[in-house]
Amino acid sequence: MIEAMSHITFVVKDLEKMSRFLREIFDAEEIYDSAAKNFSISREKFFLIGRTWIAVMEGESLSSRTYNHLAFRVPESELDKYESRVKRLGVDIRPGRSRVEGEARSLYFYDYDNHLFELHTGTLQERLTRYAKG
């Protein structure tokens, strides 16, 4: 039986640049750096964002951008603060998708390796309730 998500891994060209990205936008806590010891396929770092374990490994960047993404929930009252953090790093912000009235807000942005992130202010139940209204 699946208990929960264990972790999410991103392969990135520059570990230090991604570390800064995670710390400055998400207040990620770095909890491990393999340094010269490779227990996996390459040097890696582990972070906690909230209670989510994020693994970051050295390797080649994604060759293209897609809508596949990882979304973190943030309070509506803090979305503008996070948008300022994203803009300070100078990463590309993706235009949001069209939404129905009453649906939560989102901010989409890419890291330096073409991974798409979303900061979202709603919940699954709120979205289902809104969609049920037609």
Look at residue 104 and give its three-state secondary structure. Answer: coil
**Same fold for the domain at 1-60 and the one at 61-134?**
yes
pLDDT, residue 97, reads 76
What is the band of 51 on the pLDDT scale with cuts at 50, 70, 90? Answer: very high
If you average pLDDT over residues 87-95, what whole number do you get?
Answer: 94
If you average pLDDT over residues 73-80, what whole number do you get?
Answer: 95
Residue 126 is among the residues annotated as catalytic for this protein: no
Choose which CATH entry (3.10.180.10, 3.40.47.10, 3.40.50.720, 3.40.50.9100) describes domain 1-60. 3.10.180.10
Centre a 10 Å sphere on the Cβ of residue 75 and count the other Cβ atoms it contains: 9
* Strands ordered across the beta sheet of 29-33: 7-12, 52-58, 44-49, 29-33
Domain 61-134 has CATH 3.40.50.1100: no
Entry pTM? 0.90
Ranges of each domain in the chain: 1-60, 61-134
pLDDT, residue 104, reads 87
3-state DSSP: the chain helix, strand, coil percent, rounded to 5? Answer: 25, 30, 45
If you average pLDDT over residues 6-22, what whole number do you get?
Answer: 97
pLDDT, residue 100, reads 72
Which one of the listed residues 24, 44, 60, 78 is annotated catalytic? 44
What is the band of 19 on the pLDDT scale with cuts at 50, 70, 90? Answer: very high
Check: CB of residue 88 under 8 Å from CB of residue 24: yes
If you average pLDDT over residues 10-25, what whole number do you get?
Answer: 97
Residue 37 in this model has a pLDDT that exceeds 90? no
